[in-house]
Amino acid sequence: MTAGQRSDSLNSIIDVVKKVAGSAAARFYIAVWLAAVLVLALGGHDIPVAGIVVGLVLLSLSLLVTAATDPARAPSVVTGAARRRVWVQLGLVSVFIALTGWNNLAFHHVTADDAAIPWWTPLTRWLQGLGERWFGEGLGNFVVNPATYVVIPLLVLLLAGARPSTLGFGKGHRVGRALLICCVIPVTWFAYTLIVGQETIVRLLGRFASHFMQNGFLEEFLFRGLLQTRLRLIAGPGWALVVQALLFGVWHLGSGYTNTDHAGLLSAIAITIVQQSLLGLALGILFERTRNLLVPSVVHIALNSMG
């Protein structure tokens, strides 16, 4: 790359940052994020510096992808009957996010053991048992999560009038270029761990498979494929990115309680916004730019596998 090309790339990134930072949605997100940091500081909790650094690195890479690719043709905000239909779909998506968020709380032992939601809790317990019979003890999420994050919501949304191509399964845009930019760091890390003997290929592939079956692609479909696409049709790309990122953070409330030693709801929400919502924002930008779930899913799985 010549000096002129590097200068053009840098200018492109600066232009992207200026455009994004100047939006009302971005200012709102920054205000909420800083308020969450303040809550943690005033509450005497450690600021998750490592998590913030990871989030900022991924956010920088997503902005680099934005600067290095031309924008994809994206759907515009809908009106009339189509808008009412999307509102119904968004309501259904919100129900599934709430239900799976409840499962997340139960997984982290935040809710009482006997707390149950009619129909939903018996279903997830049956799926858990099925998964443990198929994959082994403690691996019930290999069935629960795919069913409750993807299969059931997808069927319901299709019945509500959504099309697979609008849920992240359509033809991608600049997918190869985005993967090349985003995967340099994790691929380098995985290669290093294999070379020094810190990791084996079997264990590494096992982690990839585990995160694929339990969170990576599944969470991307729920938040980027379903939620972000529905929000975009109603509120446009900026607010869609911000709202899905904040909800993605709060959805991890169970781990928020764990990471704050169960100090309380406000602290748990604050730490999820500070850490997880940054990741959700970056992954949302990647999805917005590539119009396909492949890139954010690969990045999500790779990021989790590095932990």
- pTM of the full predicted structure? 0.92
pLDDT of residue 142: 94
Band the pLDDT of 218: cuts 50, 70, 90: very high
Say how many Å lie between the first and final Cα of the chain, rounded.
Answer: 33
Chain centroid to CA 171: how far?
20
pLDDT of residue 20: 62
The half-sphere exposure of 56 on its side-chain side, counting CA atoms within 13 A, is 9
Amino acid at 24: A
**Tokens (6 digits) for 58:** 């991924």
Predicted confidence (pLDDT) per residue in 46-63, tens digit: 999 999 999 999 999 998
Q: How far is CA 298 from CA 115, 131, 248, in A?
A: 35, 24, 17
* Calpha distance 76→54 (Å, rounded): 32
Chain centroid to CA 57: how far?
15
Contact 45, 260 (CB under 8 A): yes
Residue 174 Rama label (left phi>0; alpha psi -120 to 50; beta): left
pLDDT of residue 150: 97
Among 67, 131, 135, CA closest to 103: 131
Q: Which of 1-10, 215-224, 238-247, 279-288 has the lowest mean pLDDT?
A: 1-10
Contact 303, 54 (CB under 8 A): yes
pLDDT of residue 262: 87
Q: What angle separates helix 24-42 from helix 265-290, to the nearest 10 degrees?
A: 150
* Calpha distance 277→52 (Å, rounded): 10
Is 13's pLDDT higher than 60? no
Band the pLDDT of 68: cuts 50, 70, 90: confident
* Calpha distance 40→217 (Å, rounded): 30
Helix (H, G, I), strand (E, B) or coil at 79: coil
Chain centroid to CA 188: how far?
23
Percent of the chain with pLDDT over 70: 93
Contact 249, 272 (CB under 8 A): yes
Contact 211, 305 (CB under 8 A): yes
What is the overall mean pLDDT for the chain? 90
Band the pLDDT of 1: cuts 50, 70, 90: very low
Band the pLDDT of 280: cuts 50, 70, 90: very high
Contact 178, 299 (CB under 8 A): no
CB atoms within 10 A of CB 87: 14
Report the run of H or E that residue 165 belongs to, with start and end.
none
Among 282, 254, 294, CA closest to 100: 254
* Calpha distance 240→247 (Å, rounded): 11
